[in-house]
Chain A
Amino acid sequence: MEYLLHLAILFSIYAILGLSLNLIVGYTGLLSVTHAAFYGIGAYATALLLIKTDIGFLMSGLIGIILAAIIAFLIGMVLSKFDGDYYALGSMGFCIIAFSVFLNWQDLTRGPLGLPGIPKPEIFGIEFSTSALFVILAAVILIAIYFACRCIANSSFGRVLKTIREDEQAIQVFGYSTLYFKLTVFVISAMMAAVAGSLFAAYITYIDPSTFTILESVFVLAIVILGGLANLRGSLLGALLLIMLPEILRFVGFPGEIAGQMRELTYGAMLIALMLWRPQGLIGEYKL
């Protein structure tokens, strides 16, 4: 049971990452690999504040979200001027810089040693110290993020995001400053990634830079592409499949250590297969 709850919590965290990245990649058509950076910013901010202060989980998480928003705004000002390959390369650059900061700012992050002993979250006197309680917290946040994403996707704002994906220059002729739309969705998405980071840090109680590499961004991208571009339920499906995959491999007889390694190999192969045969993902609405 504990094991299933653990998987459910991981699913919730990665579903949040997938939903938020889908706003950028699926709806706006911008191939971003910055997500691990904002996930890490949320995680480190929450972890450091929980360890070094007594402001509590909610306030720590909120500060992490605000920090991610500020950094996303600054980075987004640059990235939003790009599109296509340039956007992808620019976002990759930022993700590498962020990882480098997590790794090398040792006075703050303890570098590769990581931050152990992160307290479990406590909200309104309830300590989420067991997996059974934590899964409720994670599920509530996931549902809130899902509905926030749905509101964005169904709004006029969401419709403009899709036109940016389809033909950015053409929509400008109809009076839209696309830069502001790209910047806004980037900041919103980064804030949601920071929420996932806060949850992750508080759940695992130990973080180090190895969780926030560009490979993690690619993993989240795989969730989005597998489940379906521009389809929020697709992100949930993608997260479910990719979180369950190594467990399924384990159950079909792969040794535990090989199952873990097979995860990366399998989702890499899955991405290639999807691009070949189903570029919009399993239930996606948009083809890359």
Chain B
Amino acid sequence: MSILETKKLTKRFDGVVAINGLSIGIEAETITGIVGPNGSGKTTLINVLSGMLPFENGSVRVNNAENLRVIRPRNIPLYGITRTFQNIRLFEQMTVLDNIMVVLTKRNVFSALFERHTAYRLKQAEDVLRAVNLWEKRNDLAINLSYGQRKLLEIARALAMQSDIFLLDEPFAGLFPEMVKTVSGIIKDLKDHRKTVVLIEHNMNLIRELCDHVIVMDGGVLLSQGVPERVLAEKKVIEAYLGK
């Protein structure tokens, strides 16, 4: 049963069609890889699904809830979705701890005005920061972290949301091997906790290791999908990556 589904989804940038009538389904409690050459529309798809870009045609269904024709960014936590970004988007001039605390606290203006740190929320923040080995850095500004640590902090921020669906846009990019192990461990852990992960990744070994299902995009359309071993061996998929 799909937890997330697009029907004939189309996104244009002026004259350029970035996603062209894409219909895909993401199974619940699985790890689904989205692969494809640069410019194939992977990140655009994540941006559309998280409401950061409007789409022109088609619809999205999340958690069996609605056939959404408009997605507002502030509503995506209500649909059980959270995300990370291809280009890291932390709250740079805030501490590591505050980057996490802000997603744990109340969304309502007046509740936020009178809310203070509770020990419970601090413990939640500690748990996610320890999961990515950043608890010791909690008082550092995010801008002062290394690239890899910044990637980890972004993942920790997504973890803190405790959502059902995690859209992870190239979480391994630029990480050294030890950090790759940490992140792949986190992703496996999410699946063990019955979460759904959508993973954009160029490293096919990681796709084979982690994913139950893979979707290949090229030129904004669905090129192929299925189990990684079969799909990644298809001639048209190899040609899309390496050229004919």
| B91→A167 contact, CB < 8 A | yes
Chain A residues lying within 8 Å of B116, measured Cβ to Cβ, are 155-156
CA gap between A170 and B92 in the complex, in Å: 12
* Residues of B in contact, count (CB < 8 Å): 34
B51, B91, B107, B109: the one within 8 Å of A163 (CB): B91
CA gap between A178 and B109 in the complex, in Å: 9
| B92→A166 contact, CB < 8 A | yes
A160 interface residue (CB < 8 Å to B): yes
CA gap between A159 and B113 in the complex, in Å: 10
Chain A residues lying within 8 Å of B82, measured Cβ to Cβ, are 173-174
Q: How many whole Å from A80's CB to the nearest CB in chain B?
A: 12
| A155→B94 contact, CB < 8 A | no
Chain A residues lying within 8 Å of B75, measured Cβ to Cβ, are 175
Chain A residues lying within 8 Å of B111, measured Cβ to Cβ, are 156
Interface of B is mostly: loop
CB-CB contacts of A110-122 with B at 8 A, as 1s and 0s? 0000000000000
Q: How many whole Å from B203's CB to the nearest CB in chain A?
A: 25
| B109→A180 contact, CB < 8 A | yes
B135 interface residue (CB < 8 Å to A): no
Output the nearest chain A residue to B101 by Cβ-Cβ distance.
Answer: A159
| A156→B77 contact, CB < 8 A | no
B103 interface residue (CB < 8 Å to A): yes
A210 interface residue (CB < 8 Å to B): no
A264 interface residue (CB < 8 Å to B): no
CA gap between A159 and B109 in the complex, in Å: 12
Chain A residues lying within 8 Å of B92, measured Cβ to Cβ, are 166-167
CB-CB contacts of B77-120 with A at 8 A, as 1s and 0s? 11000110100011111100010011101110101111110000
B132 interface residue (CB < 8 Å to A): no
A285 interface residue (CB < 8 Å to B): yes
Q: Give B33-88 interface residues, CB cut-off 8 Å to A.
A: 50-52, 73-78, 82-83, 85
| A286→B93 contact, CB < 8 A | yes
CA gap between A166 and B89 in the complex, in Å: 9
| A171→B91 contact, CB < 8 A | yes
CA gap between A287 and B92 in the complex, in Å: 11
CA gap between A286 and B141 in the complex, in Å: 11
Chain B residues lying within 8 Å of A166, measured Cβ to Cβ, are 90-94
Output the nearest chain A residue to B91 by Cβ-Cβ distance.
Answer: A166
CA gap between A77 and B128 in the complex, in Å: 37
A177 interface residue (CB < 8 Å to B): yes
Task: Please provide the 5 A-B residue pairs with the shortest distance between their CB atoms, ordered closest to farther.
Answer: A175-B77, A166-B91, A172-B73, A157-B112, A156-B105
User: Measuring CB to CB, which residues of chain A are less than 8 angstroms from any residue of chain B?
Assistant: 152, 155-157, 159-160, 162-163, 165-167, 169-178, 180-181, 184, 285-287
What are 18 pairs between A and B in contact, CB < 8 Å? A156-B106, A157-B112, A159-B94, A159-B102, A166-B93, A169-B52, A170-B85, A171-B102, A173-B50, A173-B51, A173-B73, A174-B161, A175-B76, A177-B107, A181-B109, A184-B109, A285-B93, A287-B93
